[in-house]
Amino acid sequence: MSFYSCVEDFLERYPLDAMTDATYFTSPNDLKVMANGFYRLLPRYHFQSQGNGPMNNFLDANTDIQVGTGPSGFLFQRGASGQAPATDGSWNGNFNWIRQINYLINNARRVDVSVESNQYTGEAYFFRAWVYLNMLERYGDVPIYTEVLDTDSERLYKARDSRYDVAKFIIQDLDSAIVNLGWKNTSFATPGRVTKEAALVMKARTALFEGSWERYHGSKNTPFAVEGRDGSEFLQLVEPTIQQLIDHQGTNLFTNGGPFNEAYNQLFSQQDASSSAGVFLYRIYDVNEIVGHNFYDLVVDNAQALTWKLVGSYLDKEGVPQELSALPLDYASLNNLGENLDPRFRQSVWTPDRGPHQQIQGYGTTPSPLPLRYPQLNNVFSANYTSTGLRRWKGAILDNNEWRNGSTDEVLIRYAEGLLALAEAKAILGTINQSDLDKTVNLLRERVGMAPMSLADINSWPVNYSAENGFEPSESNIVNEIRRERLVELAFEGHRQNDLKRWAVFHQVINDWKPKGAHYQEFVDYYNDPSILEADGVNPGNTGIWALTMGEDFDIFSDGHINPFFRNPDFRSSGEGFFIEPGRVYLSPIPRNEIEVYSDAGYELTQNPGWF
């Protein structure tokens, strides 16, 4: 009997190398270890040193401000059937994350309440909101789960909750996160961890997204409208949320402009974002920890190029739309535009007066074939070319050591987004005043030396705002100008497509559109002048200037702009351009396999409009 008792005691021991419900969740550190895993949800847009993941210069791909070397299949759907794919990798993946996060949230109460345990519980609420916002943007209605389900649970076949209820649930989670999280760099909100500031911006992002979606899809009676909702309930949440952030952050913005005195540009190029004012969530990279990247590639000539649509969106430096400007704007000179447009243009788009590309500080080791002040437009000499002639400059890293060895932190959520959310929400609601502009838009403009936005002036402008450019003709001037401000301030940060979708203008912006690049003549003048090329360091004996001569195999539009897709007949002057289906493109399809699994079990999972 004594032997049996010992054996029984031994069999009741918990495994030493595994987490169990009985032994875990006894300390804040247990919560931290599990929460650490959720940070894999943050996007990795850098080209990793290990070779996994796309570069983050694809963030605004599939929009009107950024294109590759050929038409994107996502935007070129003419003749597509609308059949949903069997799987998409996102539906199940997101619900796997939700199950893990629910496990932490449901067990967190077992740990004694403290500032530290609150931080990690808050992170769990933040990441559950992050996943559900991703699904809201992608699918609209989705099932809401707060429990950890087993494989035989009937709740696995729960019907899709309405997008209104999903948005309310996300707001609720973010409220829980805000209560529990610490402010940046205080207590346990240490470098790289989620902060109260980030949760406040996320709450405003969610409220603005759903509120404007309900407003514009409802007023236009699209298949994606939310019956009985006009968006005001969500839009009214934005101001108190961001006012709480303003009360804490004030006017504190990043101001270190580096050697070119370009703080807006260099905000995205800091090795340690913990001291970057206004950066609230960021991914840490450290090559010493074998977590590096090739962020350097953001401004090296490559497949992703900027479009003239973006260039045409900037105001002049006096704060006036280009069509009303009294300044001597020369569209055949990028240098002239750099001098006369909003300073954020020159801090976002490369201008050739900076000198040969390879001679800029930090680019000595770049394996670009030639020190050219204008990018190549065709791959006649090298794979390193920029199809529109418009190079990105925002986020340039001025450090030779970063090449293929990057330790620059990646900015994910920042103050500017929250400030612009407040301005847009109040403009839509019709309650915005000059004081609102001064503490939001004009705070951002002051940082770059841009003329302030005047509500009275804007309302007097005789501007025709077109849906083809992302505007709303039925809205006031100030609503449309804040849309413009959002595009300019947040360019290349991945907001453009969701903005066009929530405004219900995505199909109007894309359909029949043929992307244009810079004016061709200034490239011809540069590449066809051997003396200029030699002065920039091109050795004709080694490279063959003939290989760079422009004009032989190229097509331009009648207004002189570069045609980046000149090889494709659909994108020449007589072609039809892009096409997306207005009745389905705003939401992704529910994978067919998921619908079939429901059906086999005797339940129904509905499909999104336009898909089958």
- Residue 181: CB atoms within 10 Å: 29
Q: How far is CA 552 from CA 127, 525, 542, 564, 571, in A?
A: 53, 14, 22, 15, 19
How far CA 260 is from CA of 77, 139, 253, 372, 592, in Å, comes to 43, 43, 18, 20, 53
Q: Tell me the average pLDDT across 499-525.
A: 96
Q: Does position 175 have pLDDT exceeding 90, yes or no?
A: yes
Instruction: Tell me the CA distances in angstroms from 502 to 59, 228, 380, 446, 482, one per residue in order.
Output: 17, 17, 41, 29, 15
Coil, strand or helix: which one is 394?
Answer: coil
Between 299 and 102, the higher pLDDT residue: 102
308: three-class secondary structure by DSSP: helix
Residue whose entry in the numeric block shows the structure tokens 């309310």: 168
Q: How many CB atoms lie within 10 A of CB 480?
A: 21
Which of 149, 116, 114, 146 has its CA nearest to residue 132?
A: 146
pLDDT at residue 236, as a whole number: 98
pLDDT band at 404 (very low <50, low <70, confident <90, very high): low
DSSP label of 253: -
Mean pLDDT of the chain: 89
Least confident of 97-111, 192-206, 295-309: 295-309
Q: What pLDDT does 48 receive? A: 37
Positions of CATH 1.25.40.900 in the chain: 184-253+415-504
Q: 280-296: string of b/e by CB count within 10 Å (b at 16+)? A: bbbbbbebeeebbbbbb
Euclidean distance between the first and the last CA atom of the chain, given in angstroms as a whole number: 67
Alpha helices in 378-429 (DSSP H): 415-429
pLDDT at 366 over 80: no
pLDDT at position 14 is: 42
Tracing tokens 């000595």 back to the chain, one arrives at: 364
Please report the pLDDT score of residue 50 as a whole number. Answer: 35
* Range from 396-400, 484-488, 512-516, 540-544 carrying the lowest mean pLDDT: 540-544
* Tokens 């090559």 sit on residue: 287
Q: How confident is the model at residue 106 (pLDDT cuts 50, 70, 90)?
A: very high
Location of structure tokens 């006649």:
380
The answer, yes or no, to whether residue 76 has pLDDT greater than 80, is yes
Query: What is the model's pLDDT at position 169?
Result: 98
Reported confidence tier of residue 11, pLDDT bands at 50, 70, 90: very low
Q: Two tokens at 258?
A: 């580096």
pLDDT value of position 553: 64
Confidence of residue 290 (pLDDT cuts 50, 70, 90): low
Tokens of 313: 């969106």
Q: Which two tokens stand for residue 407?
A: 């330790």
Assess whether pLDDT exceeds 70 at residue 519: yes
398 pLDDT above the threshold of 90: no
Confidence band, pLDDT 50/70/90 cuts, at residue 8: very low
Please say if the pLDDT value at position 361 is more than 90. no
- pLDDT class for 7, splitting at 50, 70, 90? very low
87-181: CATH architecture: Alpha Horseshoe (1.25)
pLDDT value, residue 551: 56
Q: For the chain, what percent of residues have pLDDT higher than 90? A: 74
SS3 state of residue 78: coil
573-611 residue pLDDT tens: 999 999 999 999 999 999 999 999 999 999 999 999 999
pTM of the model: 0.93
Q: How far is CA 384 from the centre of its chain?
A: 24
% of the chain beyond a pLDDT of 70: 88
State the span(s) of the chain assigned CATH 1.25.40.390.
87-181
- CB neighbour list of residue 106: distance below 8 Å, 6 or more residues apart: 146, 147, 148
Longest distance between any two alpha carbons in the chain, whole Å = 100
**What is residue 57's predicted lDDT score, i.e. its pLDDT?**
58
Stretch 404-408: mean pLDDT, rounded? 78
Q: Place 367 in a pLDDT band, splitting at 50, 70 and 90.
A: very low
Tokens, residue 565: 């897709």
Query: Using CB atoms within 10 A of its CB, is residue 603 exposed (0-12), middle (13-18) or buried (19+)?
Result: middle
Least confident of 118-122, 146-150, 177-181, 427-431: 146-150
Tell me how far apart the alpha carbons of residues 606 and 598 are, in angstroms, rounded to a whole number: 10
Strands 279-283 and 305-306: unpaired
pLDDT of residue 276: 97
Give the CATH architecture of domain 184-253+415-504: Alpha Horseshoe (1.25)
> Mean per-residue pLDDT for 284-294?
75
Q: What is the pLDDT of residue 371?
A: 75
Torsion, Cα of 498, 500, 502, 505 (10° steps): -150
pLDDT band for position 16 (50/70/90)? Answer: very low
